[in-house]
Chains A and B, each alone.
Chain A
């Protein structure tokens, strides 16, 4: 999906559908399979396996404590897949455009700027993690549980340094809140079709599949 607005709406609708019921989650999963790059979206998202693994662990705990762990796993996994898709398909500056388009040049600009900086921060974190692993490899040290403290220390430190540098830059450029951005959105060929199909899972949540066939009769 090229149009960031349609993509965002589609992801929100599908996430709500997946959260509300198993039927919605399965339908949203099919949408993800058909209209996105599927498994490749996971590869582009940092920490994807960590989040999926964490969800699986929580699901196991829910199941062990007598809850419906399977339903939780399916619904949350589909929401995560949609999130990975939204992350992998975005282009730099898109959140700023979206936010300004939604909320205007004052508060919208601030929210968009914060979102862009956070997303950039995630990319930097992912890059830093790779470098930390390289450092451990170079020193012939195993990267395990004991590495968490130095690695986390470095990550926090680098984020603080980055935040300070960005704050200085904003101050130098005279930023006091709000700013000028003219949002532009590209449209894709199949965008409307993909968006229309994104609504279906939500309909299925409220109208059971059997009832649809009765209505069709």
Chain B
């Protein structure tokens, strides 16, 4: 199973993004600043957008899902129950997972964006996909929810999961690291080796590296563990 980008390029006025690379099974973190082209790449990876040049090949991928940044953009139901049903799921377990039990008949628009995001992610994580693309999965969530979401992502087994995000505090354990550097998608390698090559790495990882301490991964747990080693 593999998703392959071959010399893709997208240009819109002064904005451009280009890159090549292959996404193998595992969890990939694509890091980049706001406006660096993450959503454009996510849409292309999901087959919902086309690059101006280059090609995308999917090998052995039969099911694809894209989680868009704003959860309301996924809404097609007029109640939480019907919204969950539109994902071909039973409401009760999904609502429980999202912490919204007993609100089956509520209007989705009566939820806050954070609650809506939780509901949307609960629907997404209740399925298994060969290729799961998460565009800013931590947006609209508070710190606690970010940690929970990172935990959910970390538990995904099988398939290719690609996280496009500018979040750099609460991240899940990932297998591979990519970075958008001045309009170019760069594969940094497997974690933890790739952490040293990460240009815009989280400040806390930078500080740890400066002190000669190298976390095993990018999750909060790994960073805390490394920080404890520093205190020892």
Q: Which residues of A contact B (CB under 8 A)?
A: 128, 131-132, 134-139, 141, 147, 149-150, 153-154, 157-158
What residues of chain A lie closer than 8 Å to B65, measured between beta carbons? 138
Whether A138 lies near B73 (C-beta < 8 A) is no
Bound Cα distance from A131 to B76, whole angstroms: 12
Whether A137 lies near B48 (C-beta < 8 A) is yes
Q: Nearest residue in A to B66 (C-beta to C-beta)?
A: A138
Whether A150 lies near B87 (C-beta < 8 A) is no
Bound Cα distance from A139 to B48, whole angstroms: 13
Whether B68 lies near A150 (C-beta < 8 A) is no
Bound Cα distance from A154 to B70, whole angstroms: 12
Q: Nearest residue in B to A156 (C-beta to C-beta)?
A: B109
What residues of chain B lie closer than 8 Å to A128, measured between beta carbons? 73
What residues of chain A lie closer than 8 Å to B109, measured between beta carbons? 153, 157
Q: How far is the CB of A160 from chain B (nearest CB, A)?
A: 9
Chain B 47-76 against A: per-residue CB contact (8 Å), 1 yes, 0 no? 010000000000000000110101011111
What residues of chain B lie closer than 8 Å to A141, measured between beta carbons? 76, 86
Whether A158 lies near B72 (C-beta < 8 A) is yes
The one of A150, A157, A158 that contacts B76, using a Cβ cutoff of 8 Å: A150
Q: Nearest residue in A to B72 (C-beta to C-beta)?
A: A154
Whether B76 lies near A147 (C-beta < 8 A) is yes
Bound Cα distance from A98 to B25, whole angstroms: 55
In the complex, given contacts A131-B70, A135-B73, A147-B76, what are 9 additional A-B residue pairs having Cβ atoms less than 8 angstroms apart? A128-B73, A132-B73, A134-B48, A134-B68, A135-B76, A141-B76, A149-B78, A150-B76, A153-B78
What residues of chain A lie closer than 8 Å to B66, measured between beta carbons? 134, 138
Within 8 A of A (CB), among B86-124: 86-87, 109
Q: How many residues on the B side are at the interface (Cβ–Cβ under 8 A)?
A: 16
Question: Does B77 touch A at the CB level, under 8 Å?
Answer: yes
Instruction: List, sorted by A's number, 10 A–B pairs whose CB atoms are closer than 8 Å.
Output: A132-B73, A135-B68, A136-B76, A137-B48, A141-B86, A149-B78, A150-B75, A150-B77, A153-B78, A157-B109
Q: How far is the CB of A156 from chain B (nearest CB, A)?
A: 9
Q: Identify the 4 closest CB pairs spanning chains A and B, nearest first.
A: A131-B73, A135-B74, A150-B76, A157-B109
Q: Nearest residue in A to B123 (C-beta to C-beta)?
A: A139
What residues of chain B lie closer than 8 Å to A131, measured between beta carbons? 68, 70, 73
The one of B68, B70, B76, B78 that contacts A139, using a Cβ cutoff of 8 Å: B76
Q: How far is the CB of A158 from chain B (nearest CB, A)?
A: 7
Q: Nearest residue in A to B78 (C-beta to C-beta)?
A: A150
Bound Cα distance from A157 to B72, whole angstroms: 9
Whether B75 lies near A139 (C-beta < 8 A) is no
Bound Cα distance from A158 to B74, whole angstroms: 13
Q: How far is the CB of B148 from chain A (nearest CB, A)?
A: 23
What residues of chain A lie closer than 8 Å to B87, measured between beta carbons? 139
Q: How far is the CB of A152 from chain B (nearest CB, A)?
A: 11
Most chain B CB neighbours (cut-off 10 Å) among A135, A136, A138 = A138
Bound Cα distance from A168 to B73, whole angstroms: 23
What residues of chain B lie closer than 8 Å to A158, measured between beta carbons? 72
Q: Nearest residue in A to B87 (C-beta to C-beta)?
A: A139
Bound Cα distance from A128 to B76, whole angstroms: 13
What residues of chain B lie closer than 8 Å to A157, measured between beta carbons? 72, 109
Q: Nearest residue in B to A136 (C-beta to C-beta)?
A: B76
Bound Cα distance from A150 to B86, whole angstroms: 12
What residues of chain A lie closer than 8 Å to B73, measured between beta carbons? 128, 131-132, 134-135, 154
